[in-house]
Structure 1
Amino acid sequence: GGGVAAVLSFGVANRLFTEPRERGRTIGTMGAVVGIVSGGGALLGGALTDLIGWQAALALPGLSALAAVRVLRIAPATQPRAERLDARGAVLCLALAAALAVLLQARTTHLKESLVLVLAVLAVALAAATVWHVRRVPEGFLPRLVVSNSRFVLAAVAGFTLFAGYLIIQFAAPRLILMDHDLSVTQIGLILLPTGVVSAILSRTAGGLAHKVGPLRLVTALTVLSAAGLLLAALAGRQPVALVIAVAACVSGFSAGQVALMAAVPHLVDSSVHGVAAGVFQLVFITGGSLGSAAVGGMVGAMSLSTAIGVLAVVPLVGMVAAVASALMVKRQTQAPAPAAGPTARPAVGAE
């Protein structure tokens, strides 16, 4: 539900605000809200848990229904589409993500070896079926024009790693604090509260930074920031101050990364698929987050939590390489000379 809400929210923003600067400011504000909620959510959830019970914390997402009513009034109407919903493509993607998430946690959930083998074979089959389906249905759930674009795919990999780093640290932070400190859930939330402020500030300014230095350069810097945060958590995560800095780095990487990647869409894909590309970015974010938290949870059964975080610090570095490669491809494309018109070339229809 949260993942779908994120996709739809950014989709509405992209359709409501068509002017690039205005869209950038809007998405930056949304990223700032994500950062604030990430930092303050632990405090609010902890307070409700201590005062009422964990059931109250689980009921919080229900408040989003109140906001959804307002969004329905301002969201742009969609044009009726002749083609059918690609339910098969959606099911394949969701099933593949679920199979991978379960596999990553096989050790901690004590799955039998035979079941692990079956899941591995199933994951490979689902991956192959997804590729086959994209080729067969080029305008389906994963549009071929988008997912076959190398520049876009590399940028999406960077986004995948940023969200993975974010949920890795969200999973690990409370556990690291409790190793050496006997604190309540509310106290843990108070310790992590400053991380929301830092990430909100960076997310709000990310749109301007992306315009000045280039969105993919900013994404590259954010992947390095996320990797540094994970390394700091692995080395000194039991110290509250160090952990706050580490969490702020990872949360900032994710929330500002959303803004930067949305700003990069016009540089990556054709204008006819901007909205679809933005939606696929969000889908990749969600998948990266689910697999990131599953990975750290699964590794804890084989090694210490700190070691697992240190090993997974390489994930954002993979995103750094992908972002650099995408930026270089975009640069080569923009610098490539336009093809010269032949002597028999005719102006396009409607050209003056």
Structure 2
Amino acid sequence: MQESIRRRKTLVLAICCMSLLLVSLDVTALNVALPSMRREFGASVAGMQWTIDAYTLVLASLLILAGSTADRIGRRRVFTAGLVLFTAGSLLCSLAPGLGWLVGFRAVQAVGGSMLNPVAMSIITNTFTEPRERARAIGAWSAVAGLSMAAGPLIGGLLVDSVGWRAVFWVNLPVGLAALGLTRRYVPESRAERPRRPDPVGQLLVIAALGGVTYAIIEAPAAGADSPAVLGCACLAAASLAALVPYELRRADPLIDPRFFRSAPFSGATVIAVCAFAALSGFLFLNTLYLQEVRGLDALGAGLWMLPMAALAFLCAPLSGRLVAARGPRLPLLLAGTAMAASGLLFAAFSAEASNPLLFTGYALFGLGFGLVNAPITNTAVSGMPRSQAGVAAAIASTSRQTGGTLGVAVIGAVLAAGTAGGGGAPVLDGGAEFVAAARPAWWIITACGALVLTVGAATSGRWARGTAVRTARRLERACADPSPAGVPPQA
């Protein structure tokens, strides 16, 4: 009996990891394909940013809604719908006749993707209930993210060089269909005992805030920071964010529950996720362009150069999960922040692009740091939360990751575009010295992101921080047992 239960849990974990592989592989493989897409469509720096950010922006905007909806109507049902929509969106992306169509189809893909990762994490949390068992499962989950970094550039490079960039999306079709069949057979249905009510106003405010700030950052180098469209979007984002916080505080069932952030580890995990994934997306964006546009490598050659980063991320992810299970999140967070900051510093202060040994070291350090950071983020986000709120807690962590990815591409791309002679509307740089000079401020931003992972990780993983997590968990358990009536703000 116990063996049967263990086997079924392993199958459920494998299915959830397949969904993560789908979403993560798509991002890492697509980065290698960016120069080929640019040449076919005649795209600018901003156009390439939108092929990435159209996906991450929609994903970040809808993750919390997907998590709460899954808690309410059934996690397997939402997970299945996500697999269908993501697979269909991948097919549409492979057929896109132009850049605008590709950006639109990427958004369709993201709607499906928003139903996968947070719901899969909720399924894992409800399947693996013992803390050490859950930490090991999350370590395996994080290892898949590392695997996508290892396999993505290589698979993307092989496909781009042999078939073309459209083949990057074809990979999702057999994996998506296999995951769909296995989900219908092996994943049990589950719901929250007291699901949260929909919050359409909060959802619209989140979309307006993220969309407005992303558009303003990406388009500012080409249109000018004082253009009406850029200023209007910036003001929309600021107003939406200013309205979101007081509005959510008044709701009994907010889209983003402010009570979660009374836990210092949860708040720290949110900030760390934004910083780590902003650094990752900016790192991949810069290096893909440098290796192919400046060094003149083909897509496969670029993928091979990034292999040290990907391999270390893959190897360190399960190690990080075991460290979290045995000693807590503090050590992997400190190591991760140090390695990521050191990697960024090699490029920012020592022009690592100009030296093959330094370039290799920079890639290896970043892979080490990113491999260690994912497991403590996920474990901290869901640990201590009531199981009925697992979907929402996991969705907030996933939203933080995707928000970081969106802002990383937007900010790093805008800094790079502003450093070129032609701005955001010009083709990517052709001169190595010009690229290094234009990218240096971007590398300082990536260094700062690593430093924030280190300092926030240290501040939110000590005894005081753990005390806030225990008190928050007790309040949430009481709130779940005796929920406030609709429209009445929850009490501390």
The two structures share one fold, judged by TM-score above 0.5: yes
Deviation of the 1:201 alpha carbon = 1.1
Question: 1:97 — aligned with what?
Answer: 210
Quick check: 1:316 aligned with 2:450? yes
Look up the SS of the partner of 1:79 in the other structure. Answer: coil
Question: 1:345 — aligned with what?
Answer: none
Q: Single out whichever of 300-309 and 3-12 deviates more from structure 2.
A: 3-12
Distance 1:137 1:245, change over 3 A: farther
Quick check: 1:209 aligned with 2:323? yes
For the residues of structure 1 that align with 2:334 and 2:184, how far apart are their CA atoms?
35
Quick check: 1:141 aligned with 2:255? yes
Quick check: 1:75 aligned with 2:187? yes
Letter in 1 for 2:282: I
For the residues of structure 1 that align with 2:155 and 2:199, how far apart are their CA atoms?
38
Question: 1:49 — aligned with what?
Answer: 160
CA-based RMSD: 2.7
Structure 1 residues not aligned, in runs of 5+: 337-352
Quick check: 1:189 aligned with 2:324? no
Equivalent of 1:8 in 96, 99, 119: 119
Question: 2:81 — aligned with what?
Answer: none
Query: Could you say which structure has the greater relative contact order, defined with CA pairs below 8 angstroms and 6 or more residues apart?
Result: 1
For the residues of structure 2 that align with 1:147 and 1:195, how far apart are their CA atoms?
32
For the residues of structure 2 that align with 1:219 and 1:183, how far apart are their CA atoms?
34
Equivalent of 1:250 in 341, 353, 366: 366
For the residues of structure 2 that align with 1:202 and 1:10, how far apart are their CA atoms?
20
Equivalent of 1:330 in 458, 465, 472: 465
Equivalent of 1:31 in 116, 139, 142: 142
Deviation of the 1:276 alpha carbon = 3.0
Letter in 2 for 1:323: G
Deviation of the 1:224 alpha carbon = 2.0
Deviation of the 1:223 alpha carbon = 1.8
Percent identity of equivalent pairs: 25
Deviation of the 1:124 alpha carbon = 0.8
1:218-233 mapped onto 2 (5 Å cutoff):
218-233=332-347
Distance 1:250 1:14, change over 3 A: farther
Q: Single out whichever of 142-151 and 27-36 deviates more from structure 2.
A: 142-151
For the residues of structure 1 that align with 2:273 and 2:379, how far apart are their CA atoms?
13
Deviation of the 1:161 alpha carbon = 0.7
**8 Å contact from structure 1 (residues 86, 141) kept in 2:** yes
For the residues of structure 2 that align with 1:20 and 1:83, how far apart are their CA atoms?
25
Equivalent of 1:171 in 263, 282, 285: 285
**8 Å contact from structure 1 (residues 101, 291) kept in 2:** yes
Q: Single out whichever of 54-63 and 24-33 deviates more from structure 2.
A: 54-63
Letter in 2 for 1:31: S
Distance 1:60 1:182, change over 3 A: same
Look up the SS of the partner of 2:296 in the other structure. Answer: coil
Equivalent of 1:307 in 434, 441, 461: 441
Letter in 1 for 2:200: A
Query: Cα deviation per residue 1:271-292 (whole Å; 9 max; x = unaligned)?
Result: 7645532321111111111111
Deviation of the 1:85 alpha carbon = 2.6
Look up the SS of the partner of 1:107 in the other structure. Answer: helix
Distance 1:255 1:280, change over 3 A: farther
For the residues of structure 2 that align with 1:75 and 1:86, how far apart are their CA atoms?
28
**8 Å contact from structure 1 (residues 231, 313) kept in 2:** yes
Look up the SS of the partner of 2:461 in the other structure. Answer: helix
For the residues of structure 2 that align with 1:73 and 1:231, how far apart are their CA atoms?
49
Distance 1:117 1:209, change over 3 A: same
For the residues of structure 2 that align with 1:215 and 1:279, how far apart are their CA atoms?
20
Distance 1:204 1:187, change over 3 A: same
Deviation of the 1:90 alpha carbon = 2.7
Look up the SS of the partner of 1:195 in the other structure. Answer: helix
Question: 2:401 — aligned with what?
Answer: 285
For the residues of structure 1 that align with 2:195 and 2:375, how far apart are their CA atoms?
32
Deviation of the 1:56 alpha carbon = 1.3
TM-score (norm 1): 0.85
Query: Cα deviation per residue 1:193-238 (whole Å; 9 max; x = unaligned)?
Result: 2322211111011122123442134223212221222222333034
TM-score (norm 2): 0.62
Query: Cα deviation per residue 1:45-81 (whole Å; 9 max; x = unaligned)?
Result: 1211111111111333344422233234333312376
**8 Å contact from structure 1 (residues 40, 192) kept in 2:** no
For the residues of structure 1 that align with 2:368 and 2:118, how far apart are their CA atoms?
19
For the residues of structure 1 that align with 2:123 and 2:469, how far apart are their CA atoms?
29
For the residues of structure 2 that align with 1:22 and 1:180, how far apart are their CA atoms?
46
For the residues of structure 1 that align with 2:382 and 2:116, how far apart are their CA atoms?
23
Quick check: 1:124 aligned with 2:252? no
For the residues of structure 1 that align with 2:470 and 2:260, how far apart are their CA atoms?
22
Query: Cα deviation per residue 1:79-109 (whole Å; 9 max; x = unaligned)?
Result: 3766533333233223322222222223334
